[in-house]
Amino acid sequence: MNDPSTSPKTPCSGNCACSGNSAPPPADEPTGISRRTVVKALGATLGVAAYAKALAPLTELTKETSMDEFIQKHYKELSKEEMAAVIQRLTQEAKDHYGADVTISDPQPVDGVKFGYALNLSICNGCRKCAEACHLENNHDRPSHQSYIRVFEMSKGSMDFEKGNAHYDHPVPQPDKYYMPVQCQQCEHPPCVDVCPVEATWKEKDGVVVVDYNWCIGCRYCEAACPYHARRFNWTKPQIPAEEINPNQSYLSNRIRPQGVMEKCTFCLHRTREGRLPACLEACPTGARVFGNLNDPNSEIRWVLENKRVFVLKEELGLKPQFFYFFDE
Ligand code: SF4
Ligand code: SF4
């Protein structure tokens, strides 16, 4: 990806692992419109919280929605047996819709663990290997080059990523630039969670903000509320060839999401809750990324926080991101 100049030239929303060349979302939103229409109509007759919570699963009723999926409860209300049945159904759906044999787990937060991430901006070279690894690990739609990570090319001296360029299309690194990857900051006070009308998104004990893709109604309030532009909307049924599907999946992270729901970085919880590192970190050729347990005084992430002058993006908002940045000097 160092020289992306050979990619096809089409516009890009910047929410992907491409070089600014992927196709934009469709102009019309067939699924989103029907969801919002249903919700709006129901809202006219019921209280907001009551109608949304009670009838969220209705909005999942599409051509490909089974009755089991239609009546599925909220993640937090599922018993172990019910979750096992849901996972069995999703596994079968992956086989039926994609021809893929997948394993879907439901790893829980580990007691005493709170995840944090740090990024050394002095050595990030803007290669986008992290974004590419996210694209593959998290079973993103292939044609749109979707990724949870955007890498901004920044002018030296500027710290405002909104003024950076996520669509650069030239060899990196450029001499007068530095590079700032941005993904979900796993805020301690996440506004995306506060605005969800159906509680389809929440913060887990280990600090990871998750989405129940089977409960999300696709209203996109959370996307609008996120000041880091870290949420992604699934505009189409994801297209992924069977042989490219990552079969190691979990319910709350990288299983293939339905069309019309919101998704986001989960710090690769299907890996990290099992003691592995996020895929983006493993793919980084420069060692710019540091991940670990903030509660462990011997962890590398704690060393970084205690020995480097770290900062967070948009600190003035008071959201307390658990994603930190630093320079060597
Ligand atoms: S960065 Fe955005 S999506 Fe992630 S927790 Fe914060 S507000 Fe939510
Ligand atoms: S964080 Fe690592 S992988 Fe991502 S752009 Fe920077 S150097 Fe590349």
189-244 per-position pLDDT tens digit: 999 999 999 999 999 999 999 999 999 999 999 999 999 999 999 999 999 999 99
| C-alpha–C-alpha distance, residues 186 and 57, integer Å | 26
The answer to whether the peptide bond before residue 173 is cis (omega within 30 degrees of 0) is yes
262-276 per-position pLDDT tens digit: 999 999 999 999 999
Q: What is the pLDDT of residue 223?
A: 98
| C-alpha–C-alpha distance, residues 210 and 107, integer Å | 13
Q: Which ligand is nearest to the CA of 318?
A: 1
Please work out whether the CB of residue 265 comes within 6 Å of at least one atom of ligand 1.
Answer: no
2-43 per-position pLDDT tens digit: 333 333 333 354 555 554 444 444 433 333 334 444 454 555
Atom 7 of ligand 2: nearest residue by CA position? 124
Treating both helix axes as pointing N-terminal to C-terminal, what angle do 48-55 and 30-43 enclose, rounded to 10 degrees? Answer: 130
pTM: 0.84
> Is the model's pLDDT at 52 over the cut of 70?
no
Please work out whether the CB of residue 150 comes within 6 Å of at least one atom of ligand 2.
Answer: no
Q: How confident is the model at residue 49 (pLDDT cuts 50, 70, 90)?
A: low
Q: DSSP labels for 267-315?
A: TTHHHHTTT---HHHHH-SS--EEEEETT-TTSHHHHHHHHS--B-TTG
Strands 150-155 and 115-120, by their bridges, are unpaired
| C-alpha–C-alpha distance, residues 256 and 142, integer Å | 12
Please work out whether the CB of residue 262 comes within 6 Å of at least one atom of ligand 1.
Answer: no
Q: What is the pLDDT of residue 31?
A: 39
| C-alpha–C-alpha distance, residues 137 and 139, integer Å | 6
> Is the model's pLDDT at 124 over the cut of 50?
yes
Q: Which two tokens stand for residue 259?
A: 């069309």
Q: What is the pLDDT of residue 72?
A: 87
Please work out whether the CB of residue 125 comes within 6 Å of at least one atom of ligand 2.
Answer: yes
Q: Which two tokens stand for residue 157?
A: 């001296």
Sign of CA dihedral 50, 72, 183, 189: positive
CA–CA distances in Å: residue 282 to residues 52, 110, 181, 207, 279? 40, 21, 15, 21, 5
Average pLDDT on 108-122 reads 98
Best residue among 264, 315, 323 to mutate for probing ligand 1, ranked by most atoms within 8 Å of CB: 264
| C-alpha–C-alpha distance, residues 197 and 221, integer Å | 8
53-105 per-position pLDDT tens digit: 544 544 444 555 667 777 789 999 999 999 999 999 999 999 999 999 999 99
CA–CA distances in Å: residue 13 to residues 38, 45, 112, 182? 27, 36, 38, 14
Question: Tokens 């070279």 sit at which residue?
Answer: 125
The Å distance, Cα 186 to ligand 1 centre, comes to 5
138-188 per-position pLDDT tens digit: 999 999 999 999 999 999 999 999 999 999 999 999 999 999 999 999 999
| C-alpha–C-alpha distance, residues 44 and 41, integer Å | 5
CA atoms within 13 A of residue 278's CA, in its CB half-sphere: 33
Please work out whether the CB of residue 323 comes within 6 Å of at least one atom of ligand 1.
Answer: no
Q: Please, what is the average pLDDT of the chain?
A: 87
Question: Tokens 């001499």 sit at which residue?
Answer: 175
Q: What is the pLDDT of residue 15?
A: 58
Please work out whether the CB of residue 191 comes within 6 Å of at least one atom of ligand 1.
Answer: yes
The Å distance, Cα 222 to ligand 1 centre, comes to 8
Number of residues in the chain: 329
CA–CA distances in Å: residue 9 to residues 210, 215, 240? 33, 36, 21
